[in-house]
Amino acid sequence: MRYLLIFFAIVLLSLFPKPLIAEEMITVKLVNHIDKTSELKFQFKGEYHTLDPMLSLQEGVNYSLTVTKNDLFILEGAGKKLKIKESLVLIPKAYGYDHGITVNDRPYLGAMEFMIEDKKFIRPVNQLPLEDYLKGVVPNEVFPSWGLETLKAQTLAARTYAATHTSEIIDDTIRYQVYGGYTWYENTTKAVEETRGEVITYKNKPINAFYSASNGGITENNAHVWGENSLPYFPVKKDPYDPIHPWEFNLNEVQIPLNTINWDNPHWWKETVEKNQDITSSMKGWLQRNGYPGDIKILSIPNFELSNKRHESERRIKGSITIEFLHRLQEGTILFEQLVLDDVAIDHIRPLVGGTIFKSYLIDSLEKNEGTYTMKGRGFGHGVGMSQWGAHIMGQKGSSYKEIIQFYYPGTSITDMNSD
């Protein structure tokens, strides 16, 4: 990673015109479209340099990268295989749209470093100027068909968020911002270009411009979500523009009745499945990451309830859940296990169900009827800052992007980050 940061910066200083030298750079780990893999393919157009004087790569050639025993290898289409020292760095001779790298059929601009992750996977890391990064973010965060003023508001939120993370290595997922590479759309590109350099500031400093899909009709304060100091531009207030987005899900108390398992069947483990696999897959993943490695079968959820305590924003604060499951160890031993989370912060429970199902903490009800839990709520996401759907409605009603920003981040200013 250090090679990419140092050498691409040098190339920028030596090759680019003065206006581009001052532009912030973004370094993005590519995760969203590239799972944990020990093999991937790439090719590039234009002239690219590597940091290995013994390695000469050609434009338009299909290359494959593989990891074997913690070593990185590159394979040409003709079958020539070479070992790479530490990582492979590709730097364009000149930055521009006529230079690009395609990784597993998805195009990217700028420089790319392919490095070994966890001693067995390949992880690409892309570095490019901030404004072009945004052109790959905005159409992946909102619908590019939305109105221009809404797209501009989203651009400012995304640019401000990115500007506060330029010293970090971020990734291309919802953990930061969803980035799709050099897959651009006319309207979102126009929104980026017409607001170039504009960020949201408070007392002359860029804010952490949080946003979510829908706040369910009421915004949330940052302190309620992350436990930090409350900020005045994240008030709790009714949002008449957000379309609410009600949601609900059902979860069976009993997932696998023990009396239905045929223990004499040598294939019983493989053939036994839970009733709500979309939810239990999240439960298994959470358990495996938190002290229960190996295969898991969810048997039941004998307790699932919410505390009546709520924040001013009406969002729930605490809840309880119990999960009973079978845990198969690597040597084949099967244990009966029980996870009990009693009166814990609600954000400890949501990952067990999955954020795309348990969509927010603005929960209206959780009831159990005839062995099935039913949860109903509103919104999608944490609710802090801008509601993307609310911004869309505001734009449709004639609000400018500056008015959208002022509604969702009251008391802030719009500042040109490139001005002296």
Task: State yes or no: pLDDT of 14 exceeds 70.
Answer: no
Cα separation, 378 vs 362, in Å, equals 6
**280-287 mean pLDDT:** 97
- 346 and 260 co-located in one domain: yes
Average pLDDT, the chain: 92
Domain end, chosen from 89, 115, 130, is at 130
Domain that holds residue 106: 2-130
% of the chain beyond a pLDDT of 90: 83
| Structural tokens at position 181 | 């590479």
Task: State yes or no: pLDDT of 15 exceeds 90.
Answer: no
Q: Is the dihedral of CA 379, 380, 382, 385 positive or negative?
A: negative
- 328 and 404 co-located in one domain: no
% of the chain beyond a pLDDT of 70: 94
Identify the band that residue 21 occupies on the pLDDT scale cut at 50, 70 and 90: very low
Domain end, chosen from 130, 153, 187, is at 130
- 36 and 102 co-located in one domain: yes
**354-383 mean pLDDT:** 97
Task: State yes or no: pLDDT of 12 exceeds 70.
Answer: no
Q: What is the pLDDT of residue 4?
A: 52
Helices and strands per DSSP (H, E), number in the chain: 11, 23
| Structural tokens at position 37 | 């893999």
- 372 and 253 co-located in one domain: yes
Q: Whose CA is closest to 58, among 70, 72, 42? A: 42
Identify the band that residue 85 occupies on the pLDDT scale cut at 50, 70 and 90: confident
Q: What is the pLDDT of residue 205?
A: 94
Question: What is residue 154's three-state secondary structure?
Answer: helix
Least confident of 83-87, 249-253, 368-372, 391-395: 83-87
CA atoms within 13 A on the CB side of 175: 10
Cβ neighbourhood burial of 314 (10 Å; 0-12, 13-18, 19+): middle
- 268 and 356 co-located in one domain: yes
Q: What is the pLDDT of residue 77?
A: 65
- 140 and 222 co-located in one domain: yes
Q: Please, what is the end-to-end C-alpha distance for the chain in angstroms?
A: 31
Q: Which helix (H) or strand (E) holds 150?
A: helix 148-163
Question: What is residue 26's three-state secondary structure?
Answer: strand
- 263 and 366 co-located in one domain: yes
Domain end, chosen from 65, 97, 130, is at 130
Q: What is the pLDDT of residue 219?
A: 98
| Structural tokens at position 206 | 């860029």
Identify the band that residue 287 occupies on the pLDDT scale cut at 50, 70 and 90: very high
Q: How many CB atoms lie within 10 A of CB 228?
A: 9
| Structural tokens at position 401 | 């992007």
Say which residues have a Cβ less than 8 Å from residue 338's Cβ, sequence separation at least 6.
322, 323, 324, 325
CA distances from 233 to 81, 151, 210, 218, 374 (A): 56, 21, 11, 14, 35
Q: Are 144 and 388 in contact (CB under 8 A)?
A: no
What residue type is assigned to position 213 of the chain?
A
- 393 and 360 co-located in one domain: no
Task: State yes or no: pLDDT of 419 exceeds 80.
Answer: no
Radius of gyration, alpha carbons of the chain: 25
Q: What is the pLDDT of residue 53?
A: 79
- 7 and 46 co-located in one domain: yes
- 108 and 91 co-located in one domain: yes
- 108 and 174 co-located in one domain: no
pLDDT digit string, tens, across residues 154-206: 999 999 999 999 889 999 998 999 999 999 999 999 999 999 999 999 999 99
Q: Are 348 and 329 in contact (CB under 8 A)?
A: no
pLDDT digit string, tens, across residues 50-71: 988 778 889 999 999 999 888 8
**10-32 mean pLDDT:** 65
Q: How many CB atoms lie within 10 A of CB 226?
A: 13
100 forms beta bridges with: 45
Q: Whose CA is closest to 322, among 373, 359, 278, 365? A: 373
Q: What is the pLDDT of residue 20?
A: 41
Task: State yes or no: pLDDT of 123 exceeds 90.
Answer: yes
Q: Hey, what's the torsion of the CAs at 11, 17, 18, 19, to 10 degrees?
A: -110
- 98 and 113 co-located in one domain: yes
pLDDT digit string, tens, across residues 211-267: 999 999 999 999 999 998 999 999 999 999 999 999 999 999 999 999 999 999 999
Cα separation, 17 vs 14, in Å, equals 9
**299-328 mean pLDDT:** 97
Task: State yes or no: pLDDT of 3 exceeds 60.
Answer: no
Identify the band that residue 78 occupies on the pLDDT scale cut at 50, 70 and 90: low
Say how many domains are in the chain.
3
Q: What is the pLDDT of residue 19?
A: 41
Q: What is the pTM of this model?
A: 0.88
Q: What is the pLDDT of residue 418?
A: 82
